[in-house]
A and B are shown apart, each in its own frame.
Chain A
């Protein structure tokens, strides 16, 4: 009977996070934080379009990951977004040039990434373009006078069991998705990583950019842990593939001295 009760208790506690109640038993690091180490991937179509979108050739359909459904663009920014959309095959630099995809887009590119977690430094190693995020967690603020980075400057802290990452200094050339959703150099992202059970992280990011949006807005999605045996992050070195395509048959214009 006792054993039966215990197994019930386990079942109930395992089911609880889905009911929004007490958290499941999470794996923990030696410093008692939720252990996020492992390989993760978003399983959605946000990288094609954060908002609702019907399927099209090379575009899998998907529902909006934006809280409230739509991105609150300033009136004058709507035209720019439409212009971006029209020119997306050429101007979406993550797709067209394999450039670093920026934050938050790196988190929902359709490629896996690995979290490498230590008490004061969390590294994220992405398959796409061997991108990496260095999340500094030693309590230091964003330094003054830094330039903009393709992947931004990330500073992390724990609020209880939630990893909160503050991201600034983001290069305005990155887009938020392939549909031309964009931001300026004033973008400020606050991410919240909530491990809801050993194999799922609820990922939420708040985007604030008064030059482009009328108010801060949120995206919300699940990150899934890759459990396949011996899974590892493999190189997707697409800059090289693209260089081969662009210059493979080209003749140099540089002449000998």
Chain B
């Protein structure tokens, strides 16, 4: 009897705590959407497959990644570890993290990555090592992210490689089909208190993970940003690429509040990178 009472009490408490959590309502912007503005640390959005494929890029870092580490030791978050420990991260669908590869596409990328270290030619150089815009997944999560909201647009500014995504929510359509971008063309809309971002018009020049070195132009993503507490935005990224996968895959992560005084600093990449000159023995820009 005592056990039942305890269990019941625990159950009631859980409901109460749950109710309390649900009561939290995000502060609003002037156009009455949840206010997510500020500095954030992104975590967990990596695509890690449960298929035993070894990244060839583990060795690559020893030859000199372009990322500066002197000023970028990693952005802290104000959230406690216990809160973060229960957050879903990484591939959540499929649950076993075995990606729904098309067999021929899986074979092709396995063959491809054999030529990446050392790169057999320019096309085998890992895209982020070229300091170009990172595409839908990559980016250095040691660097903070900044969210700015204006009526009609939502801005996600990465410190990493000064990537700026201006996501219009003013009802405009995607740009024309011929246009292709590293970051794709993003259009947002609000579903209640969740920002849903639809991105098309990708080029095929960015990687999805160290073991997924490219994707096709048919890549189509959907992202969901939901601010669930003062210090946490839950994030989901669904990727569809019919040339690679037979089904969409879904990745979870989150943005945790960074210290309030976090300022965006300059993350110049191409200007300092010696990766390509080292690989090809040809200088990129003159020094004098």
- Residues of A whose CB lies within 8 Å of any CB of B are 30, 37, 90-91, 93, 96-100, 114, 116, 118, 121, 123, 125, 129-132, 134, 136, 147, 149-151, 230, 232-235, 237, 239-240, 242-244, 246-248, 250-256
Contacts and interface: CB of A to CB of B under 8 A. Distances in A.
B61 interface: no
B271 A100 contact: yes
B270 A98 contact: yes
B162 interface: yes
Residue of A96, A254, A256 most packed against chain B (CB within 10 A): A254
A235 B181 contact: yes
Given A118-B148, A130-B162, A252-B119, A247 B282 contact: yes
Contacts of B157: 116, 123, 125, 132, 134
A237 B133 contact: yes
B266 A232 contact: no
B122 A99 contact: no
A84 B133 CA distance: 31
Interface stretch (B91-99, B237-245, B272-280): B272-280
A90 B280 contact: no
Contact of B282 (A100, A130, A151, A246): A246
Contacts of A149: 265-266, 268
A130 B163 contact: yes
B148 A121 contact: yes
B122 A250 contact: yes
A234 B270 contact: no
A151 B271 CA distance: 12
A244 B146 contact: no
Interface stretch (B77-85, B164-172, B211-219): B164-172
B196 to A, nearest CB: 19
A-B pairs with lowest CB-CB distance, top 4: A97-B285, A253-B281, A254-B118, A132-B162
A247 B175 CA distance: 31
B122 to A, nearest CB: 5
Majority secondary structure, A binding face: loop
B37 interface: yes
A233 B163 CA distance: 12
A234 B270 CA distance: 19
Interface in B207-241: none
Q: How large is the interface on B (under 10, 10 to 19, 20 to 34, 35 or more residues)?
A: 35 or more
Contact of B164 (A30, A118, A125, A248): A125
Contacts of B288: 91
A254 B278 contact: yes
9 contacts: A91-B286, A97-B284, A116-B148, A149-B266, A232-B166, A234-B181, A237-B133, A239-B130, A250-B282
A131 B155 CA distance: 15
A252 B173 CA distance: 43
Given A97-B285, A121-B148, A240-B132, A252 B155 contact: no
B120 interface: yes
Contacts of B181: 234-235
A90 B266 CA distance: 25
B162 A131 contact: yes
Nearest to B155: A116
B205 interface: yes
Contacts of A90: 286
Interface in B134-185: 146, 148, 150, 155, 157, 161-164, 166, 168, 172-173, 175, 179, 181-183
Nearest to A99: B271
B168 A130 contact: no
Nearest to A173: B271
B44 interface: no
Contact of B122 (A114, A243, A255): A243
B118 A121 contact: no
Contacts of A136: 263
A93 B182 contact: no
Which of the listed residues B181, B280, B281 has the most CB atoms from chain A within 10 Å of its own CB?
B280
Contact of A235 (B71, B133, B282): B133
Contacts of A147: 71
A235 B164 contact: no
B121 A251 contact: yes
B192 to A, nearest CB: 24
A126 to B, nearest CB: 9
Contacts of B266: 134, 149-151
Contacts of A247: 122, 276, 279-280, 282
Nearest to B119: A252
A132 B164 contact: yes
Contact of B166 (A114, A129, A237, A256): A114
Given A233-B166, A254-B278, A100 B268 contact: yes
A168 to B, nearest CB: 13
A134 B144 CA distance: 13
Contacts of A234: 175, 179, 181
Contacts of B119: 252, 254
Nearest to B264: A134
